[in-house]
A and B are shown apart, each in its own frame.
Chain A
Amino acid sequence: MATLAHADPASAVDVLAASARPWLFGVRHHSPACSAALPALLDALAPTAVAVELPADLAAWLPWLAHAATIAPVAIAAVSRSGDELGFYPFADFSPELVAIRWAAARGVPVHAIDLPSGRRGGIERGPRGSRERGIAARLAGDDGWERLVEAPAVLAEPERVRRAALLYGWALRLDTGGDVDAFDRARETVMRAALAPLVAAPGARVAAIVGSFHAAALVDGDDSLRGAANDPGASVDMVSSLIPYTFELLDARSGYAAGIRDPMWQQRLWQELAARDGGDVTGLVARCLVEITRAIRARGLPASVPDARAAAELAMSLATLRRLAAPGRRELIEAVQSALAQGELLGRGRVVARALGEVLVGGRRGHLAPGTPRSGLGPHVAALLVELRLPHEPMTEPEDVRLDPLRSRSERSGSAGPRGGAEGRRGASIDRRRHVAMCRLRACGVPYAQQLDSVGVGGVDALTASWRIRMTPATEAMIELAGLRGVTLHQAAAGALRAEHAHLDGDDKITPAALIALTEAAAEAGCGDLVEAWLAALAGPRLADASLGELIALVALVERIAAGHVVGLPASLDDAIPGEIDVYDAPPVERAAIVGAAVASVLGLAGSESLADARALGELARLFQRAEHAALGDGRLRWSLDELARTGTPLIAGAAAVVQVLIGSRDHDDLATQIGGWLDAAVDREGRSRLAHRLRGALGVAGPLFEAEPAFLDGLAARVESLDDDAYLARSSALREGFEVLSTASRRRLLRALGDRLGVTDARGLGLDVVTEIPPAMLALAADADAAGRAAMEELA
């Protein structure tokens, strides 16, 4: 007989299915077909021991998983004491391992967790599996291989046929690696073989091994042709694990969580049908789902009626017939919904249909732990952390304010302010940094604990210190419990919460660049480096074209803060890090030139804007452009766009563009000064005056500092103002005032001083032209009128 490596599919499956030491069931970790087939197969085999693919160091949770009062979905989370090496193992009713564990517990059969301990998994290289040579598996079953080969034909099939199909798929995947199994899989299989050896060697033993279908060929007895070299992984590190209740929303593969599956509620209901004694009614299940989906569409106010559901059901069933299936599956269901209900719209109706589909197929089921399950996870972790950081950890009635100095490193502190805290002298993150990050993480988790008071320093620069108002309430603990679904350390939970928020926005198609920048900023503060990296890549890549100028400028600022190590949660130096809690961060290479390029491309889009923020963004862009590193970009396009804006933009934007043209040197001062004078001349009517006000606002909004430094800019304006007669001036004065209002108090004062110099007026207080008068305006008006009358009289005499 040919070895597994050279056999044809049928005889390969014969070899795998005939293996008795151990008996093998190669599964996918969430599989209604395997879960439904498994009990009957185990009943027939009556094994003396059951082995499941679960890390050996998590075996303590087996009794709690099997407990009658534990309601799936639940998950085991494992994390090393230093905070990394996360393992995550969700279980649902349709997880074959959980089915096997429950079956064994009910019959008193011992269960063994045989997989590589989670504590020995660090540092082993992992590659993508089976994607190198996608030949055999794809030929057998197409792109969604497992679904087509195992799940879809499982309706009304003999359990043994399901087992053979699953083994066949795993064998094909294995063959597709071309013998090049990666180090991680080889390490796991080495450990699994070692764990199985004594079990199968026991006299009279019948061992059932429920493992991933990919691994079956490495565990089969009597054929080692597909094994790959043994790989003995290193020593174990100490892990903390916890059993947590889980939800279908998180189990859904699109939630961004590892080890999920698409549409868990569909899988759950399919499992119920398949596991039913009479073989179930999958066609009926599809029809029921379609009715629920049309109802959910109707509930959102769009037409979808019984004939629509019927047309979709008819389509799903005919597709199943055409594909020679006993009943339509998830694929046919979704195709039918898209074709018959979505009406070709991706947005609008398409969105509503997608939401309805999610509601029915993903579901909102929540798991529960059996009473008495050891409590672990986030709650105790946060409590210990708060004590360690000497932060309030008891509910309190009055809030407490703290001021932190999180960016200062420990060595500086000990030099200046003296020791504070017990472990000084040791390198690592200062306690203020740790406190700050912990509070940012709690905030990211949505836990009401601390509120940041002021985040901007004097003059708009990044603040060095941070003030927080802490108030712990009973709600704090409740929310920590909830956040515990997403991880067992604060770091994981914060990353999970942020990821969930991202998935949520994504699901609603509300991932605007602004939202993503805000999320990235929150992730940076919470020290979630991998999220920052992924989202920055998205922002600097595909999202770039959607962003507005202001958003792009904000993005550049964020990238620069991160690269400079100015984000508390992402220290650039080892001195400021504490492994597992706050890791050193290597800022990813983000192509700033590409962002600036996109910013240039978006300049024209401002033409219709009336917002001062947009005008200021334009100024920021010009400033970015002056940096040496962007010199290579070439500013031809920017110049052209600015010309366009100065000619066709709204008054505010045209004013700003005119100034930016001077900033980048595409026109000179005098030209601008003359033009500003022209604006004043043109302000002859109400509309003209409003234009003047807006143009000045735009110009000054961008160039406040410039005007201060070089009042020559305002020469044109000043010269015209001086030559105006009082009536003409008064008519324009409110527009001028409105225009100059954008200046800050300090800028305004400097400007007045400069104007004073120009007129030769000096002021003892150094305030230039800032005239403060005690005389009521009405009196001044009377005096001015008298002056004017006197002048008129004089002119008549002359």
Chain B
Amino acid sequence: MTTKSTKKDAAPGAVQAPPPEQVYADELAFLAAWDAGPRPPSWKLTPRAVVTFVVGSAGETLRTGKLAMAISEKFVGDRALVERCVVTLAGERGLLLVGEPGTAKSMVSELLAAAISGDSSLTVQGTAGTAEEHFRYGWNYSLLIAKGPQPEALVPSPVLVAMRRGSVARVEEITRCLPEVQDALVSILSDRRLSVPELGALEAAQRGFNVIATANLRDKGVSEMSAALKRRFNFETIGPIADLARETELVRRRATAITADAGAPLQVDDAVIEALVTVFRDLRTGRTVEGWAVEKPTSVMSTAEAVAVASSIGLAATYFPGDRDVARLVPEYLLGVVMKDEPRDRGKLLAYWDATVKRRAEGEARLWKQLHELRRVLE
């Protein structure tokens, strides 16, 4: 699964997830005025402003003329990585974001497209059923039969639209497409032209056109990528958030936003969220914060899953208030995340409880004591 978590913290509305160019329209307008330096062709913002848009202004209020604004932090991670992404998109290679599921690859790609082209909707959502026309073009068959091959009968793909406009096209989950379909991108990325033999035409990309693809190189059901296609991309690996405090903060923020949609404040202690994130990090890395070894379960333990658990607990506390102490829900939900398709993962979670949670419970922390007492939930 991938995260589609571009929602701003408090923006309840009819649409579940409005695109970032809509959510952050004011920030984008401000940044366009803030940095008036040279821009690559067709770009709405300068590269520096794009970076600032994605990583935020670190609490600092930026000023230009009479306007002043602090840019919110959207991607929690390495600034240098975002700089490389932006620089790549201004160059002649595509950008491929790779990483474990749930590390905000799609979010970064949406933010970049929104900041650079003002439009994150030129998207191909890759699946095993994606066909070549999703990357090239299709036909309006009634028009085709009526009038024969005419430019009006051609239905452009999002990629072709982006080529005509000089925008950034996005390809989600490119490795889920079959390799021969993926390779439709090879010549588009190297020649920057798309031939339409039926019309005898050659569609040339406007300057500013580029492609952001996201991929998971190690999941089940993903295809190989050809060496030819790999060479057309610069690779950026997005890892999990390095810092416990920042991850905890992110989980709290997102869970708060989700429960706010349900019209209630988040009734989960910060300590519970921190403990939850700690467990996720321990199981994700195979090593606890104290340095003890842990067996990693096979399931995905990303920040996105931590958000899901925290908000589920929050919603449970909202909809069923007073039933139970929220901390008591933690082991149940954890088990739900950990035990997906491998029964042995339950054993690993138990072992984690017997070693790590037990040792923490031997310390002073009351919460860990409480969690340790809940071991039977896991059995």
Contacts and interface: CB of A to CB of B under 8 A. Distances in A.
A791 B9 CA distance: 95
A308 interface: yes
Contacts of B227: 303
Contact of B83 (A314, A319, A634): A319
A61 to B, nearest CB: 41
Interface in B240-262: none
A315 B231 contact: no
A677 B234 CA distance: 65
Interface stretch (B66-74, B90-98, B369-377): B90-98
Given A319-B84, A339-B84, A637-B351, A541 B47 contact: no
B235 A319 contact: no
Contact of A311 (B93, B236, B292): B93
A660 B354 CA distance: 24
A351 B311 CA distance: 40
Contacts of B344: 604
A598 B234 contact: no
Interface string A298-322: 0000010001100100110011001
A335 interface: yes
B77 interface: no
A344 B87 contact: no
B291 A542 contact: yes
A545 B234 contact: no
A343 B344 CA distance: 33
Interface in A520-543: 541-543
Contact of B293 (A303, A344, A594): A594
Contact of A601 (B80, B93, B291, B295): B295
- A interface residue count range (under 10 / 10 to 19 / 20 to 34 / 35 or more): 20 to 34
Nearest to A314: B91
B230 A311 contact: no
Contact of B292 (A308, A318, A345, A594): A594
Contacts of A308: 231
A311 B92 contact: yes
B236 A339 contact: yes
Contact of A318 (B87, B236, B293, B355): B87
A344 B98 contact: yes
B281 to A, nearest CB: 15
B296 to A, nearest CB: 8
A348 to B, nearest CB: 11
B87 A319 contact: yes
B51 interface: yes
B51 to A, nearest CB: 7
A303 B98 contact: no
B237 interface: yes
B287 interface: yes
A86 interface: no
Nearest to A545: B293
Contact of A542 (B51, B84, B287): B287
Interface in A312-343: 314-315, 318-319, 322-323, 331, 335, 338-340, 342-343
Nearest to B290: A541
A206 B83 CA distance: 46
Contact of B91 (A303, A315, A335, A543): A315
Given A339-B236, A342-B235, A344-B96, A541 B84 contact: no
A597 B292 CA distance: 12
Interface in A607-659: 634, 637
Contacts of B88: 315, 339
A633 to B, nearest CB: 9
Contacts of B233: 343
Interface in A537-581: 541-545
A342 B355 CA distance: 38
A104 B355 CA distance: 62
A504 to B, nearest CB: 24
B47 A343 contact: no
A322 B92 contact: no
A541 B288 CA distance: 10
B48 interface: yes
B286 interface: yes
A322 B293 contact: no
Contacts of B294: 545
Given A322-B47, A545-B286, A315 B234 contact: yes
B326 interface: no
A545 B292 contact: no
Interface in B189-246: 217, 227, 230-231, 233-237
A606 to B, nearest CB: 15
Contacts of B93: 311, 340
Contacts of B295: 545, 601
B338 interface: no
A331 B81 CA distance: 12
Contact of B84 (A335, A342, A594, A601): A335
A323 B91 contact: no
B347 interface: yes
B48 A335 contact: no
A541 B291 CA distance: 7
A541 B294 CA distance: 10
A542 B235 contact: no
B32 to A, nearest CB: 17
A322 B48 contact: yes
A62 B117 CA distance: 62
B185 interface: no
Contacts of B96: 344
A340 B351 contact: no
A318 B90 contact: yes
Interface string A390-432: 0000000000000000000000000000000000000000000
Contact of A598 (B80, B236, B293, B347): B293
Interface in B280-333: 286-287, 291-296
A791 to B, nearest CB: 56
Nearest to B217: A344
A335 B347 CA distance: 40
A325 to B, nearest CB: 12
Contacts of B86: 322
Residue among A322, A331, A339, A544 with the most chain B CB within 10 A? A339
Nearest to B190: A307
A77 B355 CA distance: 45
A263 to B, nearest CB: 18
B355 A597 contact: yes
Nearest to B294: A545
B342 to A, nearest CB: 13
A311 B91 contact: yes
Contacts of A331: 80
Nearest to B51: A322
A340 B234 contact: yes
B217 A335 contact: no
Contacts of A545: 286, 293-296
A343 B92 CA distance: 16
Contacts of B296: 545
Contacts of A323: 83
Given A598-B293, A601-B295, A637-B347, A343 B87 contact: no
Contacts of A543: 293
B46 to A, nearest CB: 9
A312 to B, nearest CB: 9
Nearest to A320: B87
Closest 5 CB pairs of A and B: A344-B235, A318-B87, A344-B98, A544-B293, A339-B234
23 contacts: A303-B231, A311-B92, A318-B47, A319-B87, A322-B47, A322-B48, A322-B83, A322-B87, A331-B80, A340-B235, A344-B235, A344-B236, A345-B217, A541-B291, A542-B286, A542-B291, A543-B293, A545-B293, A545-B295, A594-B293, A597-B355, A601-B351, A637-B347
Interface of B: 47-48, 51, 80, 83-84, 86-88, 90-93, 96, 98, 217, 227, 230-231, 233-237, 286-287, 291-296, 344, 347, 351, 354-355
Given A315-B234, A319-B83, A343-B233, 7 more contacts: A307-B231, A311-B91, A315-B88, A338-B235, A339-B235, A340-B235, A545-B295
